Amino acid sequence: MSITYSTHAYTPGLRVSWCTTIRKERRLPLPGEILVKKGEEVSQDQIVARTQIPGEVQIVNAASLLEIEPEELTRYMTKKIGEKVEKDEIIAFRKGFFGLTTKQVRSPIKGKIEYFSTATGNISIRTEPTKIEIDAYIPGKILETLSNEAVVIETKAALIEGIFGIGGEKKGEVHVAVKEPLQEMLPENVNSSCKGKIIVGGATASFEAIKKAIDYGAKGLIVGGLAFKQIKEILGYEIGVAITGHESIPLTIILTEGFGKLEMAKKTFNILKTFEGYNASINGATQIRAGVIRPEIIIPIKKEECDEKEEILSGSIRPGTKVRIIRHPYFGCLGKVVDLPIEIDCVEAECSVRVAVIELQDGRRVKVPRANIELFDW
Amino acid sequence: MVSVHGAQMDIENLRLVLATDVGSTTTKARLFKKMENGEYRFISSGEAPTTVEKPFEDVTVGLRNAIREIEELSGYKLLADSAETRIIMPFNGKDTGVDLYVSTSSAGGGLQMIVAGVVKTMTTESSERAALGAGAIIMDSLSIDDGIPLHKKIEKLRFLRPDMILLAGGTDGGTKAHVLEMAEIIRAAEPKPRFGISYSLPVVFAGNKLAAPDVENMLKEKFFVKVTENLRPVLEIENVEPARNIIHEIFMEHVMSHAPGYEKLVKLVSVPVMPTPAGEGKMIRTIAEAYDINVLGVGLGGATTNIYSVYENKFVRSVSANLGMSYSIGNVLKSAGINNIVRWLPFEISEEELYDRIGNKMIRPTTIPQTLEDLLIEHAIAREAIRLGFQHHKSLARELKGVHRERTISDVFEQEVKETYIDMKKINMIIGTGGLLSHTPRRQQAALILIDAFQAEGIVKLTVDSAFMMPHLGVLSTVHPKAALDVLEKDCLVRLGTVIVFSGLSEKNEVIGHVEVKTEDKSYEVEVKYGEISSIPIGLNKRANIQAKPEGNFDVGGGKGKTVTTNVEGGIVGIVIDGRGRPLALPEKFEERRASLLKWFNAVNAYPITGGEIA
C-alpha cells in the first residue's frame, strides 16, 4: 500500500468540545438600537437589541373610487404624504357638480400615507412599525457591538454541533434521561421532572416518548438519531430541503449523528452527562445549503471548569486522525485513519475515488471513499 | 486583442487557460491548453469542497485546494506563493502561470430573483424565461392578474431577500398604468437584498419603454434601477437577450461583490463571473447552433435540476430549485413519492431504510455511494428528479400565442393551453451534465438514466459532459469561442451512442419491429420485442446506416408503422434499441419489475450484476 499522502485532504466535521470560547453574533433583521455596551455582562434572557420592522401596506385605488382620471388625484387628496390617518378616516374627497354628489376614499387601516400616484391613481397607507427584540440567548460578556445592527457575546461553554435539527432557539436545564448512549429513549424514561428541560436521549427516541416529553413541557430533545419518517410524524409534513429552525413545535429536537437509530458518540454523551443540571442554549436550525448552519447545543460553564488544552481538530486528515464514517455500509462507525493512498481507487459501486483506510473501533480495517468520512474526535 | 478588466489581452495567443466553477457543494477547476497544432485541449482537473460557509466564508480557500490538485496532477505551477490566493499570470511558456482565468458560480444559492409582469401568461412568463435563461432561480413571480389581492402581494414580497428583481409589462407604447402599479407594489414592499442590508436592491425594468421614466422615478429612491429594452415590445415577439445581459452585468457588479466570501474571487478573474447555469446554457446553445439540431440538456446538480431545450432555435431554460441530488434530495422523495423511486430499484428495501438513506444524503451532501445498492438508489432518484424537472420545463417551453380580444387587463389575452411545443420525436440530442451524470461509474448508467427520465422517443443521440466542464466552457466561449468548441468536441462531450425508441403500447411480449444496422464492415439485424431493450456495439467515432421498421402501432419518429432510414453515430454504449414502449410502464409486482429492471440493466451492461443478483 502507498505511503504517499495527500497534504490537503479536507473533510468538514462537526465540533464537539468540552470547553471552547463561543462568540455569538445576535443580529437584527434591520438596523435598530443596541441596548448593551461593550464589556457588559449579560444574562441569557436579557434583551440586547431592538428594531422596528416597517408596517404592512394597503393600496387603495382612489381614482376609481372618486371616478376621476389618475392624474387628477392630487387635487382631491385630503391628507399629505407622511400624515397619520385613522382607520376609516377620509383620505381623498370629491364633490360632484353643484355639490349634489360626493365621492370619498377612506383609509382601510390605521397608519400613515406613504405614497400616492398620479399615474395609477392609487394611495398607499402603511401601518405602524412592529417592534422586534432579540435576547442574548447565551450569558456572557459583550465583546463588541456592530454599528446599530448586531452585538457579539462571548462566553466559555461546552459545545456540541448536531447534524440536523428542527425547532428554534430554546433554553433549559440539561437532563439525561438514559443511562447509555446506545439506549433508546422510551416513554418510561420521561416524567414530570422533564418540564422545561433539555432532555438527552441515547441512540433514538420512540414517538410515544417524544409525545410524552412534549406533554410534560420539555423544551428540547437531543438524540443520536431518529428515523427520517418519524420527523414527518412529528411535524405532520415531510422535510424536502434541509433548511429548518422555523418549525412551530414546542420541542426543539437535535440529532447528533443522523437519521436512523444511531448510538450517540460517547464524547457527546459524556459532555451532556457531565453537565447535567447546567443551563443550555440550543437551536435546531439547520441549513445545509448556501452557508451551512448546524444545530447547536451550548452549555455555558465557569472559567475554572474549562480545559482548553483539548485537541483542536484542524481541517485536514492524516494517519492517526480520528474520524466518523458517514455513509452506508459503515454509516456511524468511528475509527482512525491508517492510510491515505494518493492513487485513485475503486469501491464496490465502481466509483473511482480517493480512499482512506480506516481502522474501526472493533479493529476491522475498511476502505472508504474520503468523501465519506468526517473529522470527529471520539 | 480584447479588453479584459480594462487591460488589453491577446486572445489569439492564449496558451494556458484556467477555468473554475464554484458550485454549491464542490469547486471544480479545469485546465485547458493550446496544443502545437493550434487546437485547445483539456489537460487536467481538480476538485475540492466549496468553502463559502463558516469557518472559511471565503470561496478562494476551496478554489486554492482545487487548483492545487491540478498543480499536483499536471506539474504546472498556477498559484503564487503568497498567503492570499493569487493566480500567476501570464503563462511563462514553460511550467508556470496561465494566460486567462475564468469562473462560473452557483454557491451561496446562486442568483436568486423575483420576476414581475402584468399578465401572468404573457409578460410574467417572458420575464421568467429571461431570468431563467440568465441562470437565475426564481424565488417568486407576480402578476397583476395572478388573483392574489394587492396587499397579499406586498406581504409576500416584503420578507423575501432576492438578489435582483426583473420587472416587465406592457408592449411598447401600450398602457402604462398596470406596470406602474406593479412598480408601486415593489416600492411598498421594499424587499431587502440577500447580501448586505445597506445597499440598494437592483431592479431591472424591461417593460413598456414609455413607462420607464415613471418606473425609475417611483423606484430610484429605494432601489438601484436599470432600464433595458422591453422583453415583449409587441405581443408576437419575445426579446429576452437584452434583459439577460443586464442581469449578468448586475450579477457581477452588484450581487457577487456583496456576497460574503466572494470579494476575492471577483478580483481574481479575467472576465466577469457568470452564474453556473448561464455558462451551461450558453454551451448547450452553442452545440445546437454548431450542429443545427434540436437539443435537450439537463444539469442535475446537488441543489437544483436545470433543464435546457433548444428547439427550432428557441432556447429555454428551466430550473427546479428544490430538486437535486444532495441538499434537496429529500424534496425529490417528497415530490415524486417513494413508490416512484422504489420502482427503479431491482432489490427490496424497507421504506424506513430508504427514507433514512435519503435523509442522510441530504444532511451529508458531499458523500458518495460506496455500495452498488446506494448507487442504484441515487440513480433511481436522478431519474425522478429529471422527470419532474422536465415536466416543469415543458410548462415554460410553449408557444407565445396571444390573441388580442379587448383592451382590459384581466382577460385581454388568450394563451393557447398546449403543454409544450417540444415534440420528443424531433429531439436530435440529449446532453447530461452535473456531478452524477458526468461521473457515473459506467457510462451506460448515464445513458439509461437519460432515456428513462426524459422518456426519449424517435432516434436520439445521447451525450454526457465527460468531466463536468460545460459551465467552464460556456464562460470561456464568451472570450474565446474556438477554444471552447475545440475542448467541447475533443474532450467534453462523451458520445454515449444513439437510442432508437419504438413508441407505442402493447399488452404482450410481441415483436414490434425490426432494425437493420450496417457499418463499413459489419451488419446486424435485430428483432425488436415489446418490453425489451438491446444494444449493438457501434463504438466511438463509428457511424452506421440504420433502417428501423416499426410494426403497425409503433413509431420510431417517422409516423406509426413507417420505416425510418438514417445514418447514426455510435459511442461508448453503442446503438441502443428500446422496445419498452412509450409511455414507459414498469410492472406493478416487485418480482416482475425486478426481473425487467435486471434484464434492461444487463442488456446494456449497466451495472456489475452477476447471475441476476445485486453484488
- The 10 Å Cβ neighbour count of residue B360 is 26
Q: Measured between CA atoms, how close is B180 to chain A, in angstroms?
A: 7
Q: From B294, B493, B309, B271, select the one nearest B389 (Cα to Cα).
A: B309
Q: Where residue B76 sits, what CATH number does that domain have?
A: 3.30.420
Q: Which CATH class is domain A16-22+154-305?
A: alpha beta
Please give, rounded to a whole number of angstroms, the shortest distance from the CA of A277 to a CA of chain B: 30
B134 plus B26 within the same structural domain: no
- Do domains A16-22+154-305 and A57-126 share one topology? The answer is no
Which residues touch B378 (CB under 8 Å, ≥6 apart)?
B325, B361, B369, B436
Whether residue B167 is found in the same domain as residue B192 = yes
Burial of B588 (0-12, 13-18, 19+ CB in 10 A): exposed
User: CA of A257: which chain B residue's CA is closest?
Assistant: B360
CATH tag for A57-126 (out of 2.60.40, 2.40.50, 1.10.3470, 3.30.1050): 2.40.50
User: Do residues B302 and B381 lie in contact, with contact meaning Cβ atoms separated by under 8 Å?
Assistant: no
In Å, how far is B125's CA from the nearest CA of chain A?
23
Give me the pLDDT at residue A3, please.
Answer: 29
Nearest to B339 by CA among B531, B579, B593, B530: B593
**Cis peptide bond prior to B55, omega within 30° of 0:** yes
Residue B154 and residue B253 share a domain: yes
**CB-based contact B526:B577 (threshold 8 Å):** yes
Taking CB atoms and an 8 Å limit, are B375 and A258 in contact across chains?
no
Mean pLDDT across the stretch B524-550? 96
- Interface test mutation site (partner A, options B350, B356, B371, B610, max chain A beta carbons within 10 A): B356
Query: Minimal Cα distance from A295: which residue of B?
Result: B363
List the domain range (segments joined by +) for residue B60: 2-105
Q: Average pLDDT for residues B505-512, to the nearest whole number?
A: 91
B173, B171, B163, B176: which is closest to B137 by C-alpha? B163
Of A30, A290, A349, the CB nearest to B24: A290
Name which CATH class applies to A322-375.
Answer: mainly beta
Q: Which residues contact B204 (CB under 8 A, 6 or more apart)?
A: B164, B165, B166, B167, B226, B227, B228, B243, B246, B247, B250
Domain range annotation of chain A: 16-22+154-305, 57-126, 322-375
Q: Do B184 and A371 touch (CB under 8 A)?
A: no
Question: How many beta-carbon contacts under 8 Å exist across A and B?
Answer: 187
Among candidates B188, B328, B358 on the partner chain, residue whose Cβ is nearest the Cβ of A59: B188
Say whether residue A250 is in contact with chain B using an 8 A CB cutoff: no
Contact A238 B214 (CB under 8 A): no
**Residue found by looking up cell 467534453 in the block:** B492
Domain membership flag for residue B223: yes
Question: Are residues B240 and B143 part of one domain?
Answer: yes
B293 and B226, same structural domain?
A: no
Under the banding of pLDDT at 50, 70 and 90, the label for residue B204 is very high
Instruction: Say yes or no: B530 and B389 in one domain.
Output: yes
Q: Side chain identity at A72, as an amino acid letter?
A: E
- Residue in chain A nearest B53 by alpha carbon: A291
Q: Is A8 an 8 Å CB contact of chain B?
A: yes
- Which chain B residues have a beta carbon less than 8 Å from that of A59? 150-151, 154, 184-185, 188
> Can you give the pLDDT at residue B192?
83
Where b means 16+ CB within 10 Å and e means fewer, B396-433 reads bbbebebeeeeeebeebbebeeeebbbebbebbbbbbb
Helix spans in B301-412 (H):
329-336, 338-342, 351-363, 372-396
Q: Which helix (H) or strand (E) holds B205?
A: strand B201-205
Among the residue ranges A86-90, B283-287, B405-409, the one predicted with the least confidence is B405-409
3-state secondary structure of B578: strand
Q: From edge to edge, which strands make up the β-sheet containing B564-569?
A: B523-529, B511-518, B543-550, B564-569
User: Is A119 part of the contact surface with chain B (CB cutoff 8 Å)?
Assistant: yes
Inspect the interface and report whether the beta carbons of A288 and B327 lie closer than 8 Å.
yes
CATH code, domain carrying B119: 3.40.50.2300
DSSP B392-405: HHHHHS-----EE-
- Residue B274 is assigned to a structural domain of this protein: no
**Torsion over CA of B250, B254, B256 and B259, rounded to 10 degrees?**
-150
Residue B47 and residue B112 share a domain: no
Q: From CA B64, how far away is CA B72, in angstroms rounded?
A: 12
Of residues B322, B359, B216, the one with CA closest to residue B351:
B359
Rounded Cα distance, A95 and A103, in Å:
6
For cell 396587499, the residue is B151
Coil, helix or strand at residue B263:
helix
- Cα–Cα–Cα angle for B358, B361, B366, nearest 5°? 160
Q: Distance, in angstroms, between A297 CA and closest chain B CA?
A: 17
Dihedral angle at the C-alpha atoms of B376, B381, B382, B387, nearest 10 degrees?
Answer: 130
pLDDT of amino acid B615? 46
* pLDDT over 50 at B417, yes or no: no
Residue type, B601: F
Output B143-150 pairs: Cβ under 8 A, ≥24 positions apart: B143/B116, B143/B117, B143/B118, B143/B119, B144/B117, B144/B118, B144/B119, B144/B169, B144/B178, B144/B181, B144/B182, B144/B409, B145/B118, B145/B119, B145/B120, B145/B409, B145/B410, B145/B411, B146/B120, B150/A58, B150/A59, B150/B185
Q: How many angstroms separate the CA atoms of A231 and A236, rounded?
A: 8
A65, A121 Cβ separation under 8 angstroms:
no
The verdict on B515 and B527 lying in the same domain is: yes
Spans in chain A with pLDDT lower than 50: 1-10
Same domain? B466 vs B564: yes
From the list B241, B222, B243, the residue with the least C-alpha distance to B116 is B243
- Is A238 an interface residue toward B (CB < 8 Å)? yes
Contacts of B181 in chain A (CB under 8 A): 120, 122
How distant is the Cα of A315 from the closest Cα of chain B, in angstroms?
Answer: 10
Within a domain: B275: no
Same domain, B417 and B430: yes
Choose the final residue of a domain: B71, B105, B139.
Answer: B105
CB distance B154–A331 less than 8 Å?
Answer: no
Number of domains present in the structure of chain B? 3
Tell me: do B364 and B243 sit in the same domain.
no
What is the spatial distance between Cα B492 and Cα B474, in angstroms, rounded to a whole number? Answer: 12
Residue B612 buriedness (CB in 10 A; 0-12 / 13-18 / 19+): exposed
For B295, the grid coordinates are 437539443
Region of A267 on the Ramachandran plot (φ > 0 left; ψ -120 to 50 alpha; else beta):
alpha
Amino acid making up residue B399 = E
Question: Does residue B302 surpass a pLDDT of 50?
Answer: yes
* Residue where one domain finishes, among candidates B236, B269, B302: B269
A166 chain-B contacts, CB cut-off 8 A: none
Strands (E) across B476-603 are located at 493-501, 511-518, 523-529, 533-536, 543-550, 564-569, 574-578
DSSP class of residue A277 equals: T
User: SS3 breakdown of chain B: % helix, strand, coil, rounded to 5?
Assistant: 35, 25, 40
A117:B184 CB<8 A: yes
Residues of B in contact with A31 (CB under 8 A): 197
Judge: B363–A372 Cβ closer than 8 Å, yes or no: no
For residue A261, give the chain B residue with the closest CA: B356
Cross-chain Cβ contact A57/B439 below 8 Å: no
Among residues B105, B139, B172, the one where a domain terminates is: B105
